[in-house]
Amino acid sequence: MHRRRLPWFAAALACAALGACVSNATVVDRKTTAEQAADKAIVIVSVSHDRTASGASARFIIDGGTPQAVKVESASGKMELPIKNHFHDKYGHVYVVELPPGRHRITSWNASWRNQYTEPVMGVPLEFDIARGDVVYIGNLHVKWLMGRTPLFNKQVPYAGLATIRDESAEDIPIAEKLNPAVAGRARIALLPLGPWGKAPPVPDMASPGEPESSGEANGSRP
């Protein structure tokens, strides 16, 4: 268990540095009219994480490493405004965001649990296009917690997370339309590649056999 602290600490430093430079995505005002929305490039996306771990949050970075980098999160971090939970079977939020027209990339993700941060194994950036006047649903960005048990007290805790892209359009789009009536009936589904993004990290000694998911690569994960 002790030898896992350094990776957690290194991940925390990296996440803190990243979060300091990345602003929240621009959410379309719910008072926006259909006429005003018709001139915007709008993306519907949800971000969520398992309810398995309390005090957790997940965040995905769009266009990281560029001046237009923004983030979308499943839950608020410390010293941040609360983020409403839109779900019952997971914790997360549906976003209706405005982006500049053109090609965009989801470049990275991270997640935290009780001040400990994951050490994610990234996949290749996920690209999508959006044009002025479009409303596009790109999917649900979900972090599944990989669970293990501590040597002391045999307590179940997460040792890492695995990002997965899912099609939750049947649930997400109605939520988005309720949040922003101006996009009602306009959403086009253009999903990111579905399935795990990247791969699960190695299983530490503290994890119980059979608890974690398979660590197979998907969505072009990097070695």
pLDDT tens column, 151-199: 777 776 777 788 999 999 999 999 999 999 999 999 999 999 999 998 8
Look at residue 38 and tell me whether its pLDDT is greater than 80: yes
Q: Is the pLDDT of residue 63 over 80?
A: yes
The verdict on residue 215 lying in a domain is: no
Query: Is position 220 within any domain?
Result: no
Looking at the domain assignment, is residue 183 inside a domain?
yes
For every residue of 24-56, DSSP letters joined together read EP-BPPTT--HHHHTTS-EEEEEEEE-TTSTTE
Residue 223 lies inside a defined structural domain of this protein: no
Please tell me the predicted confidence (pLDDT) of residue 147. 73
For residue 101, the enclosing domain spans: 2-196
Using 50, 70 and 90 to split pLDDT, how confident is the model at 8?
A: very low
User: Strands 156-166 and 135-149, how do they pair?
Assistant: antiparallel
Task: Please tell me the total count of domains within the chain.
Answer: 1
Is 21 a domain residue? yes
| Mean pLDDT to the nearest integer, 57-81 | 85
Q: Is residue 213 part of a domain?
A: no
What is the distance between the alpha carbons of residues 27 and 40, in angstroms, rounded to a whole number? 12
